[in-house]
Structure 1
């Protein structure tokens, strides 16, 4: 069944999927890797992180964690 899409204005897109009209199958493909130290992703009010000396190991021996090629 066709969809009727009215006027639309998109100022910016910072990643994700934008779909107009009918869609049978949407599957966004994206991979990323994040290295962060102790207490890096804490959120909320009144956070207290006592980590002393902290180090993050960013060595990756296998190089490929999740491949997108051939994954359509």
Structure 2
């Protein structure tokens, strides 16, 4: 059944989906970017990495890397 939702105000959402009324398909969207040098995101016991010199450039000249528009 259709629903009518009045005015709402959402200040912040710390993750999750907000649903009002009927819903056929919910598609939460998020994107993130991480800059890390070689051997820096290893997890586990007894890690040994031999990478020599490692330089990571965190500067991103792009305007958009991944868009979150509509239902794409």
Structure 1-normalised TM-score?
A: 0.57
1:71 counterpart residue number: 70
Can you give the 5+ residue segments of structure 2 that lack an aligned partner in the other structure?
1-12
Structure 1 residue 55: deviation in Å?
Answer: 0.5
Distance 1:50 1:18, change over 3 A: farther
1:4 counterpart residue number: none
Distance 1:35 1:18, change over 3 A: same
Structure 2 counterpart SS, 1:65:
coil
Q: After superposition, what is the alpha-carbon deviation per residue over 1:7-51, rounded to whole angstroms, capped at 9, x for unaligned?
A: xxxxxx9634488xx853121111111111111221111100112
Where do 1:1-72 residues align within 5 Å?
15-17=15-17, 24-68=24-68, 70-72=69-71
Can you give the 5+ residue segments of structure 1 that lack an aligned partner in the other structure?
1-12
Structure 1 residue 60: deviation in Å?
Answer: 2.5
Cα root mean square deviation, aligned: 2.7
